[in-house]
Structure 1
């Protein structure tokens, strides 16, 4: 039950971020000054993190499906997807100047 609540919160946050809202939920971005925030392409940053929230919520769904079906393979695929997406997000968003104007 708690997993479904967490998944719903991730989908809600992903939807809001994808629409360009709730940018202050992005770690590090919320601590920038107004002048520093203007240097970033906020809509692109929000869209990227919104998509990543959808991927993470899908991995949580795979955990629940794997648990319900008793399939370790589906559960492990969800875990692999989660780990790869988190590592990708950290590397992609912090390397280079992808989201700077």
Structure 2
């Protein structure tokens, strides 16, 4: 349970950094783009979206911790299903529709 709570704190910390429009160097794929390609993206909007996703994922991890603390297995499965759904949504949303292009 301590490891899960450390993960929650880490994700909330990252969410705060991203929500402020900072930390784009932590986004995989974006940080490897050449500078001329990075200029084509709205970095602040991308970071804010990633911040929202970090908060959502940390909520799922809180469900895991509560499940472990109170020995309620179905709560873990709900958190896991939400976690997977959020990751799939995030991957599809970011990679389709040129949403974060300038």
- Asked if 1:99 is matched to 2:100, the reply is yes
4+ residue runs over 4 A deviation:
none
- SS of 1:100's partner is coil
Q: In structure 2, what is the equivalent of residue 56 of structure 1?
A: 57
Q: Structure 2: how far apart are the matches of 1:5 and 1:65?
A: 14
- SS of 1:29's partner is coil
Q: CA deviation at 1:89?
A: 0.4
Give TM-score scaled by structure 1 length: 0.96
Q: In structure 2, what is the equivalent of residue 70 of structure 1?
A: 71
Q: Structure 1: how far apart are the matches of 2:96 and 2:68?
A: 36
Q: Structure 1: how far apart are the matches of 2:42 and 2:58?
A: 25
